[in-house]
Copies of this chain bind each other. A is one copy, B any other.
Amino acid sequence: MERVYNFAPGPSTLPLPVLEKVQKELLNCNGTGMSVMEMSHRSKMYLDIFNQVKADFKAVMGIPDNYHILFMQGGATGMFAAVPMNLLDGGKADYVDSGNFAHNAIVEAQKYGEVNVAGSSRDDAYTYIPDYTLSPDAKYVHITTNNTIYGTRYTSIPDTGDIPLVADMSSNILSEVYDVSRFGLIYAGAQKNIAPAGLVIAIVRDDLLGHAMPITPKVLDFKKMVDGDSMLNTPNCFGIYVAGLVFKWLLDLGGVSVMEEINKKKAAMIYDFLDNSKLFKGTAVPEFRSRTNVTFVTGDKDLDAAFVKEAAEQGLVNLKGHRIVGGMRASIYNAMPVEGVEALVAFMKQFEAAHQ
């Protein structure tokens, strides 16, 4: 079998040129006589890679100088604990409950202090980004910029004034241009839009460091991680290397602004088809539609299952919706080429014609 079009929500498809480079260098990276996986994280040969990855991430994301880049482990789920441990500082925090991961972040944060649910669309199956009322005295406001499972995204970023805005960007980081200076902390599990699973990238503003609770594990303490340049312990060296290749690939493409236009086009192709379909229907409220995860149904579970199965036979795989919501979901992150989306829409048309 050739390569398939993989619409998995994460871990998800990676850019083919990146995979080809990983493959080429796998036994001997940069003429060192060893794989990048075998390099000591403190060796010059690895630090050269590491520092370039940081520089390229700073460039591609447009990160101001008063922010630190951290490579963490433990997934966004680990960050759900790390955020309150580092930022709650004896106060309370506002959380917007816009999806399952947002909800998990709230439950985890409640272990460490007072959490105010500033808004929630939980009772409406998270089909939209809820309205929210922010507290004037919160230590931070936590949002989830894109909700992978439900296919929704913030189309405008909350204005939190002087209160630091914290964003879980796991499922849409680098898919559209964000003004980093509007956030106090951004974090993302790498496995959707950056690199293989097992790596978290965080961007933290300098003034937010140094307030960790005494019981914060060292590996989740932002200040200690900054002081150790993410090498307090051995980082996920391979994941960081792949992330670097993805950043280079993005920069070569023209950066996030160019990628954003491609992503708009990809998403529009599917949504336009859905809005004119007699068989398929998008499930997210249009105003809040995600550009990275497109959720849809036929309204008939058996037909949904048939669609997923037949699509897979055509090399369009992992279109099944999340087990919580059912139906279908096409995750079309940066690495999904336009051709993959064209093939998907063509198949949807064909399926509709066969079942109308």
Contact = CB atoms under 8 A, between A and B. Distances in A.
A156 to B, nearest CB: 29
A73 B80 CA distance: 15
Contacts of A242: 37
A132 interface: no
Given A74-B74, A198-B198, A198-B237, A217 B37 contact: no
A14 B35 contact: yes
Interface stretch (A22-30, A49-57, A62-70, A252-260): A22-30
Most chain B CB within 10 A, of A8, A76, A219, A315, is at A219
Interface in A197-216: 197-199, 214-215
Given A19-B27, A76-B233, A318 B40 contact: yes
Nearest to A42: B323
Contacts of A147: none
B81 A238 contact: no
Interface residues of A, number: 68
Contacts of A22: 26
A355 interface: no
A232 interface: yes
Interface of A: 1-4, 6, 8-14, 16, 19-20, 22-23, 26-28, 31-35, 37-41, 43, 73-78, 80-82, 85, 108, 111-112, 189, 191, 196-199, 214-215, 217-220, 232-239, 242, 315, 317-318
